[in-house]
Amino acid sequence: MIQILIQGLLLSGLYALIAVGFTLIFSVGRVLNLAYASYLMVGGYIYFYVVQTQGMPKIVGMVVAVLMGCLMGILMYRAMVKPLKGDHVAVEISTLILAVVIQAGIVLLFNDSAKILHPILPGVWHVGGATVTLNILTATIVSWLILGGLYWFVRKTHTGRAMQAVSMDTKGATVCGVDTDRINLITWGISGGLGALAGVFFASYTQLSPNMWVAPLIIAVAVVIVGGIGSIVGTLIVAHIIGFMEIISTTLIAAELRGVFTMLLIIGVLIISPRGLFGREELG
């Protein structure tokens, strides 16, 4: 029982880190960026190349991955999202197509075989009869720190409050003098960086492969649909719900059921409460 509790908490922290960048885009831009999980994939592969191929320090690999993720987010907004502004369906279809194109590019550069990413922090920790890897513990701590910092940024800074205003009412924010284009650009950049960092931790927890973006995308979509809140706090709550569901189902029932209960949860929430459990979409 202690093992399930600890693993659930740690996995939930990783899931929250995976989903928060997706939540930012959904809340501020009102679109589902279906290429979001490709940030994770690219972040993981860049870290692999910098650290395990070029032999550079892990922190350098993380920084390069985050910067590339930010650049991807900014370029995606400028080249694809802004020209299609207002047509959410076209944006969502285009971003999904882009994710597939990026996957093909990864295959060309790194081939399609799975790769093992070295743990960010090797070793294990024994607590209360449970054993956890320091790798997932590190990912969870970093996740909580980032979520806390992001919450502070959104609540306390001028740019963060502008993001809140745009998430509540884009036209109203424009009337009040908020540069919504700049805010969206910043949001997409932050989202890309967070996604790339999450990809490094997710790949070290699982493995690197060209289709590794699919599972994180399901997690991110599930958080937005189930939460219906588009907020950092909501992301944390729903990520814990999904994380514990996965740990319980895979530990007590069958490992092959990973992700199945998450999909069933999405369907159930859509049927019972299409606006999600919390029914709001403001950032904060």
CA–CA separation, 22 and 25 (whole Å) = 5
Distance CA 97, CA 83 (A): 16
Instruction: Give the count of domains, the chain.
Output: 1
DSSP 48: I
Q: Residue 281: helix, strand or coil by DSSP? A: coil
Contacts of 42 (CB under 8 A, 6+ apart): 65, 68, 69, 72, 102, 106, 196, 199
Does residue 271 belong to any structural domain of this protein? no
Segment 152-170, tens digit of pLDDT? 998 889 998 998 888 887 8
Higher pLDDT pick, 203 / 226:
203
232, 212 in Cβ contact below 8 A?
A: no
Q: Which two tokens stand for residue 157?
A: 């800074």
What pLDDT score does 207 carry? 87
Percent of the chain predicted with pLDDT > 90: 32
Across the range 200-208, mean pLDDT stands at 90
195 pLDDT tier (thresholds 50, 70, 90): very high
133 within a domain of the structure (yes/no): yes
Whole-number Cα distances in Å, 201 to 65, 92, 194, 231, 275:
11, 26, 11, 22, 30
Tell me the residue length of the chain: 284
As a whole number of Å, the end-to-end CA separation of the chain is: 33
Residue 180 belongs to a domain: yes
Asked if residue 282 belongs to a domain, the reply is no
- Classify residue 134: in a domain, yes or no: yes
Q: Across all residues in the chain, what is the average pLDDT?
A: 86
Q: What is the pLDDT of residue 216?
A: 86
Q: Are 222 and 32 in contact (CB under 8 A)?
A: no
Mean pLDDT for 256-264 is: 73
Structural domain span for residue 99: 2-212
pLDDT at residue 255 above 70? Answer: no
- Position 86 in a domain: yes
* Whether 45 contacts 210, CB under 8 Å: no
- Please answer whether residues 73 and 189 qualify as being in contact, where contact means their C-beta atoms are separated by less than 8 angstroms: yes
pLDDT at 167: 83
What average pLDDT score do residues 116-120 get?
88
Q: What is the model's pTM?
A: 0.88
User: Domain for residue 45, yes or no?
Assistant: yes
Secondary structure of 85-145 in HEC code, one letter for each residue: CCCHHHHHHHHHHHHHHHHHHHHHHHCCCCECCCCCCCCEEEECCEEEEHHHHHHHHHHHH
pLDDT tens-place string over residues 39-83:
999 999 999 999 999 999 999 999 999 999 999 999 999 998 888
Matching residue, tokens 């690197």 = 208
pLDDT grade, residue 233 (50/70/90)? confident
